Amino acid sequence: SQQGEEDPQALSIQEGENATMNCSYKTSINNLQWYRQNSGRGLVHLILIRSNEREKHSGRLRVTLDTSKKSSSLLITASRAADTASYFCAREGRDDKIIFGKGTRLHILP
């Protein structure tokens, strides 16, 4: 399969809690990107982390990358109802192709 693996497939947490999603891949990468998608809508680019970077922050988002383990994680702190969405990691390879993981459906409970 061209896709990477993400876990969990679905995650429900209480508003205010932190949400962590993980992503693994198999081939070498130029960078790894995280996207959000609300139901039936387009993609929203969240963060891009290069292969030579280990951690990146953007507001309440924190992304880590471990190229030795071929894995990445996305942490959303102090979750809000508006964070309810599907989250995808996507790896960009040497050929510029972006291959998406299967995604995590995040549901923030009020």
Interface contacts to other proteins, rule CB under 8 A: 2-3, 30-31, 33, 35, 40-43, 45, 48, 50, 88, 90, 92, 96-103
83 CB-side CA count, 13 A: 28
Round to whole Å and give the CA distance between 109 and 79: 10
Closer to other proteins by CB, 3 or 71: give it: 3
Going from the C-alpha of 105 to that of each of 38, 52, 67, 82, 87, the distances in angstroms are: 10, 28, 24, 13, 6
In angstroms, what is the minimal distance from the CB of 72 to other proteins?
15
Closer to other proteins by CB, 9 or 18: give it: 9
Closer to other proteins by CB, 14 or 94: give it: 94
